[in-house]
Amino acid sequence: MEPPTKTAKLPEPILDDPLITAVVDCFYARVRGDPVLSPVFEGAVADWDDHLRKLADFWSSVMLGSGRYKGNPVAAHVRQAGLLTPAMFDRWLALWSQVTLEMLSEEAARAMQARAAMIAESLKLALFFRLPSGAAAKAKV
């Protein structure tokens, strides 16, 4: 068997840090212009440059396994719990889907959308799910 004459090219990654940063920047520019989401974010974010860096680190950790994000998303959202509704998460996901489909390959967009949906569901459960009074005691019986 003869050795290949050309070096096999590895497929290009569907996502990298610069692309994730661009998606985060574009997405949050839209969030800041959204009449439903903007008031919550404007009240919660004091330094947008720092926040965008933190979110790029978050998505890099989620999608690329970089480990750069060191925060606690649930705690950050709990601080805004009085302003948030489940419908706001749906709006957030709709905007996220629009931006990812516009900026990424379909494969990368779908991957980021799937992760965002899981994250949104986890945050909604943390913020809004409560067992009915006495349900935990009844479950132990």
pTM here is: 0.82
Task: Please state the three-class secondary structure of the chain as a single string.
Answer: CCCCCCCCCCCCCCCCHHHHHHHHHHHHHHHHHCCCCHHHHHHHCCCHHHHHHHHHHHHHHHHHCCCCCCCCHHHHHHCCCCCCCHHHHHHHHHHHHHHHHHHCCHHHHHHHHHHHHHHHHHHHHHHHCCCCCCHHHHHCC
Per-residue pLDDT of 17-43, as tens digits, reads 999 999 999 999 999 999 999 999 999
Per-residue pLDDT of 45-93, as tens digits, reads 999 999 999 999 999 999 999 999 999 999 889 888 888 999 999 999 9
Domains of the chain: 17-128 (1.10.490.10)
